Amino acid sequence: MSRSSRTKQARTAEATAKVVTGAIALSVVAVAVFVFVYIVYNGIGALDWTFFSEVPRDRGREGGILPIIVGTLYLIGATAGLTLPIGVLAGVYLAEYAPRNFTTRAIRLAITNMAGVPSIVYGLFGLAAFVLLAGFGRSIIAAALTLTCMTLPVVITATEEALRQIPQDLRQASLALGATRLRTIYKVVLPAAAPGIITGAILGLARAAGETAPILFTGAVFQMRRLPDGPSSQFMALPYHIYAQVTSVPDWNRELVWGTALVLVAGVSIVSVMAAWWRSVQRRKVKW
Partner 1 sequence: MTTPPTHSGRRLGRTTTRRAAEAVVRAIIYLCGWMAIIILAAIAVFLMWNSFRAVNEAGLFTMLSGTAWYPTSSPGKFGMLPLIVGSLFVTGVALAVCVPVGVAAAVFISEFSGRLVKEVMKSIIEFMAAVPSVVYGLIGVAVLIPFVKDAFSLTSGMTAVTGGIVLGIMSIPTVISISEDALHAVPEELRQGSAALGNTRWQTTFKVTLPAASSGIFAAVMLGLGRAIGETMAVLMLTGNAAVMPASVFESVRTMTGTIAAEMGEVVQGGLHYSVLFAVGLVLFTITFGINLVADLVLERQRKRWRR
40 touching partner 1, by CB under 8 A: no
At its nearest, how many Å lie between partner 1 and the CB of residue 167? 21
249 touching partner 1, by CB under 8 A: no
Among 1, 29, 100, 230, binds partner 1 (CB under 8 A): 29
Report the site for partner 1 in 92-131 (rule: CB under 8 A).
92-94, 97-98, 106-107, 109-114, 116-125, 127-129
Question: Residue 57's beta-bridge partner residues?
Answer: 62
| Alpha-helix residue ranges (DSSP H) falling in 135-226 | 140-165, 168-176, 181-184, 190-209
Cβ count within 10 A of residue 197: 23
Question: Residue 235's beta-bridge partner residues?
Answer: 220
Longest CA pairwise span in the chain (Å)? 83
Span from 54-62, 66-74, 228-236, 240-248 in contact with partner 1 (CB under 8 A): 240-248
274 touching partner 1, by CB under 8 A: no
Q: Which of residues 52 and 222 has its CB atom nearest to partner 1 in the complex?
A: 222
| Alpha-helix residue ranges (DSSP H) falling in 93-139 | 102-116, 119-126
| Structural element, H or E, at residue 8 | helix 2-43
134 touching partner 1, by CB under 8 A: no
At its nearest, how many Å lie between partner 1 and the CB of residue 68? 13
At its nearest, how many Å lie between partner 1 and the CB of residue 146? 11
CB of 205 closer than 8 Å to CB of 153: no
132 touching partner 1, by CB under 8 A: yes
